[in-house]
């Protein structure tokens, strides 16, 4: 071993020892403390983490994201992207601290805990502890109920600030929202959760709705409703008490600790629906505490209550099937569309620049139909049996190759307009969907089982 290598190894050992001696404590981390913690983690584990800012808040605070995994700095073909986002409402603080505890748990157990090690080796995990740092700093003292800190520096509710798939909400997109939208556009996120407070429940899409999604019956059903219910139950039943559905202070109860978002209350411009419709990413909303901003001496119990659920939920990114669409020369086909009969999306799921697709599907028998969306190329169909591979940390892999030497698509990106609007008006009037609204989707047909 060279002198340089010995010095470098010694530096790494000292850095980790220093970090472990001052690891995440059960208290609230304000702006400078949060940044210092993230920098300390990255300094101690540079090969396992990547720290960057998505941009700045209204008041100029960084929107920090720590990426963890075997390949933290870049996307690796076949490795799914996962994210947790917290503190979107600045006065809902438990999620912010739970994500710091989660970071600490992952880095300190990598290499010794087999589940953590396999999770990080096979998943790229993005953690955003605070989407609304201005709101957090505006909330001066712990308060269980509604406070000024809910909003960003411009007084806007960030969870009403995204383009809505059902109605034109005419909002001024805030810097924090725009940064997250660009992040979603840039990364191939497959699964996500948004951590809130003020209730104890796992809520899933859709938050908004119309006649096309069955909202007149009080439930706004997404095309992947079965998967969403599974995801919500995964968190609820791995949580210490969420699954009991007891509610808070004799308020509304939630059977099994889960709810359809619209069934709970209608919400337009939410991040959960935006992720699903425009980001090809299934996201649920996790309400982690009846008290929005509880005393910090309760944080350790919150961590014990949520640890298993946070870990098990991340493993669900390995449900279903994944693969690449390639041309006859082995080059990736971007923008090929992959969809499902009975779960066609108004914004069809497309392959990324690497020709990759990721479909979160429950175990069963499926027929995959994939198309390059250009004239002259036939769809390809393949029947596959999808097992539950979450314990193996890899979805079933199946690649498609078009026989032509070169296949390119002209599929345009989905517009940021109320895509479900026309479908809803047609459904309400008892008419068929307008031509082209669901056209050119690639079918992934469920057969049986």
Q: Are 58 and 176 in contact (CB under 8 A)?
A: yes
Longest dimension (CA), the chain: 78
User: Is 287 among the catalytic positions?
Assistant: yes
Calpha distance 98→96 (Å, rounded)? 6
* Number of residues assigned to the chain: 449
Residue of 156, 287, 339, 356 with catalytic role: 287
Calpha distance 380→21 (Å, rounded)? 56
Q: What is the dihedral of CA 327, 331, 337, 342, to 10 degrees?
A: 70
Token readout for 341 is 């009969």
Q: Which residues are CB-neighbours of 384 under 8 A, at least 6 positions away?
A: 321, 365, 366, 367, 368, 396, 398
Helices (H), 110-193: 114-122, 133-138, 175-186
Which run of H or E residues covers position 431? none
CA-closest candidate to residue 365, choices 280, 288, 447? 447
- Report the first-to-last Cα separation within the chain, whole angstroms: 58
Token readout for 375 is 């004239």
Annotated active-site positions, please? 287
């Amino acid at each position: 071993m060279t002198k340089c290598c010995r010095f470098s190894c010694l530096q790494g050992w000292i850095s980790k020892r220093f970090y472990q001696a001052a690891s995440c404590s059960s208290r609230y981390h304000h702006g400078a403390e949060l940044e210092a913690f993230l920098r300390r983690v990255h300094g101690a584990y540079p090969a396992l983490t990547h720290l960057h800012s998505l941009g700045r808040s209204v008041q100029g605070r960084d929107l920090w994201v720590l990426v963890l995994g075997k390949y933290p700095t870049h996307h690796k073909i076949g490795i799914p992207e996962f994210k947790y986002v917290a503190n979107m409402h600045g006065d809902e603080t438990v999620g912010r601290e739970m994500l710091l505890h989660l970071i600490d748990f992952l880095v300190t157990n990598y290499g010794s805990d087999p589940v953590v090690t396999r999770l990080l080796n096979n998943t790229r995990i993005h953690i955003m502890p605070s989407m609304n740092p201005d709101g957090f700093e505006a909330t001066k003292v712990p308060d269980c109920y509604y406070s000024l800190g809910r909003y960003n520096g411009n007084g806007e509710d960030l969870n009403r600030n995204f383009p809505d798939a059902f109605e034109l909400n005419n909002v001024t997109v805030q810097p924090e929202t725009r940064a997250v939208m660009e992040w979603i556009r840039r990364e191939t996120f497959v699964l996500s959760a948004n951590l809130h407070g003020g209730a104890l429940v796992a809520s899933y899409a859709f938050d908004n709705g119309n006649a096309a999604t069955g909202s007149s019956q009080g439930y706004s059903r997404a095309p992947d409703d079965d998967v969403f219910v599974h995801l919500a139950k995964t968190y609820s039943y791995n949580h210490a008490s969420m699954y009991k559905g007891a509610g808070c202070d004799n308020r509304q109860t939630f059977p099994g600790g889960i709810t359809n978002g619209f069934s709970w209350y209608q919400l337009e411009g939410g991040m959960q629906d935006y992720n699903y419709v425009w980001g090809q990413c299934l996201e649920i909303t996790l309400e982690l505490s009846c008290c929005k901003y509880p005393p910090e001496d309760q944080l350790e119990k919150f961590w014990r209550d949520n640890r298993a659920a946070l870990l098990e939920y991340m493993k669900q990114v390995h449900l279903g099937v994944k693969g690449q669409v390639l041309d006859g020369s082995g080059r990736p086909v971007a923008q090929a569309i992959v969809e499902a009969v009975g779960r066609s999306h108004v914004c069809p799921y497309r392959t990324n620049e690497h020709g990759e697709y990721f479909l979160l599907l429950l175990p069963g028998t499926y027929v995959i139909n994939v198309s390059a969306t250009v004239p002259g190329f036939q769809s390809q169909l393949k029947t596959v049996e999808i097992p539950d591979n979450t314990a193996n940390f890899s979805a079933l892999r199946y690649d498609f190759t078009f026989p032509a030497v070169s296949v390119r698509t002209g599929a345009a990106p989905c517009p940021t307009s109320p895509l479900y609007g026309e479908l809803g008006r047609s459904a309400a009037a008892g008419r068929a969907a307008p031509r082209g609204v669901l056209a050119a989707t690639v079918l992934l047909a469920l057969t049986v089982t």
